[in-house]
Chains A and B, each alone.
Chain A
């Protein structure tokens, strides 16, 4: 059965698994540095304009932010258990959990959309009509839009990857357990969750205790 999952240039399945998960980890390292470019700017400006950042931080919607954090954490749980189930031979359960992951991911994006609409109604887009006057408040919101936007693109890519697993796994439940793709996709999805876990305090918890 292992032959079906083996791809050139590998000669045994175990080596291929090691390569795919290691390759994905290296890629995740690269992804972390992608966000590091944003964290650096956020850190510098938070240091240069603390008041603006604290004031602007209070304007984000903590309810959406917190619910979305919980949703992504739960989806992470779902795909983590899906992998364990697939490897233990519970293909059907693994497949259902993948669907759950997709549903939660979509829910995240939908809520994010509602949140964006609310932000736009509150004129929280830097430029004319922006409600806060403190220096740096507009820059906070630039980072808010870019960070959440880039993250949303990652969620979308993750959803496509998980969707691909679900489609392929539906036809062949054993494939989920044997293919290295499941592991790599799950790692990617977890990273999307980890990034959000870091974004959450930066964007939603900032300035809540002040003013």
Chain B
């Protein structure tokens, strides 16, 4: 039998918070359990059948004061724990300026990650220590869950949608990555490693990777392969919306509504083009739902985000 795990590294800022919360809730519930055990065992011994203990009626004050007392106390304690650990920490952290955005695609049964400069990995993720990381994750098939116990992080990865995890690694080393949402036959084989490196080592590591392309470059290639330019290029015969500077601009929709062209909008526009039709254009674009894979869509979106106004493709 190999080594016996008795502790888990605290490898992120979140890990410290979670362990802190865990400690206090453990202490509070341990105290409650201890008091109850003492009372139950004490009563059991003192009032066992045949013991000489006094067994008269309860004192009058005992009844309602006690009940109302512990009801109120329990309510306050519950609200207190909620306020202390959830109300403040339940919402995701704010984005840091030097945030590192890594794209993660999950599929049965592997993790594919891609760094901003195009470095690709399978079942592995290298990140520099001390820098905030934002994982943008999507699934190609069923629901998976990105679980890194050492970071105390977990987030389900859904098909047709992207979910995010924002965290800051604080410790160097190699840590486990699991899939925590049951995803089929080889669910328990869907594992990986997260390598936290010094920033210098990360910079040195990046170029040595099986360097695919940057996500945006890959998106550019896909743009050409799918023939998007046939309609979207400035000189095209077909009238289609211009894509330069589209990201984060406000798009007027047919019917008068308007929408901000964020990641979700771009993704929907590729997969379900007739869902939100830009004002002044005909709904003629075909859906790329069955054509572009989840990672293709991520690449296309990354490419669209790089296009400046006027800098048309």
A–B contact at 8 Å CB threshold (below): yes
Binding site for B on A (CB under 8 A): 49, 51-52, 133-136
Report the Cα distance A49→B271, complex, angstroms. Answer: 14
Contact with A along B266-287 (1 / 0, CB 8 A): 0010001011100000010001
Chain B residues within 8 Å of A49, by CB = 275
Q: Point out the residues of chain A lying under 8 angstroms from B268, CB to CB.
A: 135
User: Considering only CB atoms, which chain A residue lies closest to B274 in the complex?
Assistant: A133
Q: How far is the CB of B259 from chain A (nearest CB, A)?
A: 12
How many whole Å from B267's CB to the nearest CB in chain A? 12
Q: Give the distance to chain A from B141, nearest Cβ to Cβ, in Å.
A: 20
Measured CB to CB, the residues of B under 8 A from A are 268, 272, 274-276, 283, 287
Compute how far the CA of A3 lies from the CA of B276 in the bound complex, rounded to whole angstroms.
68
What's the minimum C-beta distance from B202 to chain A, rounded to whole angstroms?
39
A51 to B287, CA, bound (A): 16
Chain B residues near A133: list those with CB within 8 A.
274, 283, 287
Task: Tell me which residues across on chain B come within 8 A of A136, comparing CB atoms.
Answer: 275
Instruction: Name the A residues within 8 Å of B274 (CB-CB).
Output: 133-135
Q: Is the interface of B mostly helix, strand, loop or mixed?
A: loop
A156 to B65, CA, bound (A): 58
Output the nearest chain A residue to B272 by Cβ-Cβ distance: A135
A7 to B17 CA separation, bound complex (whole angstroms): 65
Residues of A within 8 Å of B276, CB to CB, are: 51
The 5 closest A-B pairs by CB, nearest first: A135-B275, A135-B272, A133-B274, A134-B274, A134-B275
Q: Which of B268, B272, B287 is the most central at the interface, judged by chain A CB atoms within 10 Å of its CB?
A: B272
Shortest Cβ gap from B257 to chain A (Å) = 10
For the complex, give the distance between the alpha carbons of A135 and B267 in Å.
Answer: 13
How many whole Å from B258's CB to the nearest CB in chain A? 14
Q: How far is it, in angstroms, between the C-alpha of A133 and the C-alpha of B288 when the chains are bound?
A: 12
Provide 14 A-B residue pairs closer than 8 Å at the C-beta atoms, listed in order of the A residue.
Answer: A49-B275, A51-B275, A51-B276, A52-B275, A133-B274, A133-B283, A133-B287, A134-B274, A134-B275, A135-B268, A135-B272, A135-B274, A135-B275, A136-B275
Considering only CB atoms, which chain A residue lies closest to B285 in the complex?
Answer: A133
For A52, list chain B residues within 8 Å (CB). 275
For the complex, what is the distance from the CA of A83 to the CA of B287, rounded to whole Å? 56
A52 to B274, CA, bound (A): 9
CA distance A136 to B160 in the complex (A): 14
Nearest CB of B to A112, in Å: 30
- B224 to chain A minimum Cβ distance, whole angstroms, is 25
**Cα A205 to Cα B270 with chains together (Å):** 31
- Please measure, in the bound complex, the distance between the C-alpha atom of A44 and the C-alpha atom of B298, giving whole angstroms: 26
A203 and B275 alpha carbons, distance in the complex (Å): 20
Give Cα A108–Cα B81 distance, bound, in whole angstroms.
Answer: 57
The CA-CA distance from A136 to B287 in the complex, in Å, is: 13
* Beyond A133-B274, A133-B283, A134-B275, 11 extra complex contacts between A and B, CB < 8 Å: A49-B275, A51-B275, A51-B276, A52-B275, A133-B287, A134-B274, A135-B268, A135-B272, A135-B274, A135-B275, A136-B275
